């Protein structure tokens, strides 16, 4: 087994992971696997696969995770939520994923069944929240567990202190790292991280980076999840409504600049929200001087997704 490569941006070493989501149709499935093939050559530390909204169905997630485990050598994490399931049902799902070879999970509470913005209450007989789920996962197996974190506060949290208290409960119950909601202001992240450390949380907190595929859609999504789109971001896109190429270049520049700024602050582990698209993600990596490792002569594909006949 080869070690995870460490890349450098302006002489700053860093590692990263990618997030994907299950496709909804055949075209989306083709796009997903094209993106996985294109990005897997960068040998991420791990990849994660999300659930649908409200954990509407675990089957699509399981199908993607199963294929990743069978056809690639990518360390693969499945998201796991507690909504709409009893403790026994959630445990049964965990066992199903474990038996398929899953050793990594991203433990989340999940959105309320009524959708973002509706009131949440634990499912009768189910896990109470993500911290409770972390404890349950550790009881079932020695899994690698990531959890969520919110530099700009989860929309349902009373305040940042309550938000960080929940993160501490997840860490205390055995979480290995936290992956943040996307953000665009590095000062916000640094202030949040300082508060997290003051609270006694010592697990790695990986910044979630979202290269902007579509600014209008992102603004709508950000409004639901409590993330802020700073004025300086919107200003960079001004006058580009009819210039797709210009928007692409700006998006790649913005993400690379944000990442370089984090590297300059000593943040060396990152989590990328790919939106199942590889072109923009690769452009960002190239701006940082990241080159895909070349396999040694005669070596097999790093992923196995594309096998020669």
**Both ends of the chain: CA-CA distance in Å?**
24
Q: Where are the alpha helices (DSSP H) in 124-278?
A: 130-140, 160-172, 186-198, 215-225, 231-236, 244-264
Alpha carbons 164 and 153: distance in angstroms, whole number: 9
Cβ neighbours of residue 129 under 8 Å, at least 6 residues apart? 82, 109, 122, 166
Q: 279-287 and 26-40 are packed helices; what angle lies between their axes, rounded to 10 degrees?
A: 20
Question: Which pair of structure tokens corresponds to residue 136?
Answer: 């349950």
Q: Where are the alpha helices (DSSP H) in 41-71?
A: 59-71
Decide: 82 and 123 in contact? Cβ < 8 Å: yes
Q: Where are the alpha helices (DSSP H) in 73-129?
A: 87-99
Short-list 17, 85, 89, CA closest to 47 = 17
Collapsing DSSP states into helix, strand and coil, what is residue 48? strand
Residue 19 designated active-site: yes
Q: Find the catalytic residue in 19, 43, 45, 152.
A: 19
Cα-to-chain-centroid distance, residue 66: 18
- Catalytically active residues are 19
């Amino acid at each position: 087994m080869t070690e995870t490569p460490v890349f450098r941006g302006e002489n700053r070493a860093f590692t990263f992971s990618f997030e994907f989501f299950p496709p909804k149709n055949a075209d989306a499935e083709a796009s997903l696997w094209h993106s996985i093939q294109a990005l897997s050559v960068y040998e991420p530390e791990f990849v994660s696969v999300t659930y649908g909204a409200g954990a509407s169905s675990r089957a699509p997630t399981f199908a993607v995770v199963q294929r990743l485990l069978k056809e690639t050598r990518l360390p693969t994490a499945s998201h796991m939520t507690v909504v709409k399931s009893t403790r026994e049902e959630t445990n049964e799902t965990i066992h199903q994923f474990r038996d398929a070879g899953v050793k990594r999970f991203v433990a989340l509470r999940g959105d309320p069944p009524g959708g973002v913005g509706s009131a949440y209450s634990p499912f009768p007989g189910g896990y109470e929240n993500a911290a409770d789920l972390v404890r349950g996962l550790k009881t079932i197996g020695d899994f690698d567990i990531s959890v969520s974190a919110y530099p700009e506060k989860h929309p349902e949290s009373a305040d940042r202190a309550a938000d960080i208290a929940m993160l501490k409960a997840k860490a205390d119950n055995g979480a290995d790292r936290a992956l943040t909601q996307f953000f665009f202001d590095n000062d916000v992240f640094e202030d949040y991280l300082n508060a997290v450390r003051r609270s006694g949380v010592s697990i790695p907190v990986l910044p979630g980076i979202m290269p902007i595929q579509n600014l209008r859609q992102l603004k709508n999504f950000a409004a639901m999840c409590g993330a802020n789109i700073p004025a300086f971001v919107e200003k960079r896109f001004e006058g580009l409504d009819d210039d797709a190429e210009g928007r692409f270049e700006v998006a790649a520049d913005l993400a690379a600049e944000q990442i370089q700024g984090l590297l300059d602050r000593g943040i060396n582990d990152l989590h990328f929200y790919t939106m199942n698209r590889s072109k923009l993600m690769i452009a960002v990596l190239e701006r940082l001087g990241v080159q895909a490792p070349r396999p040694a002569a005669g070596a097999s594909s790093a992923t196995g997704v594309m096998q020669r006949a």
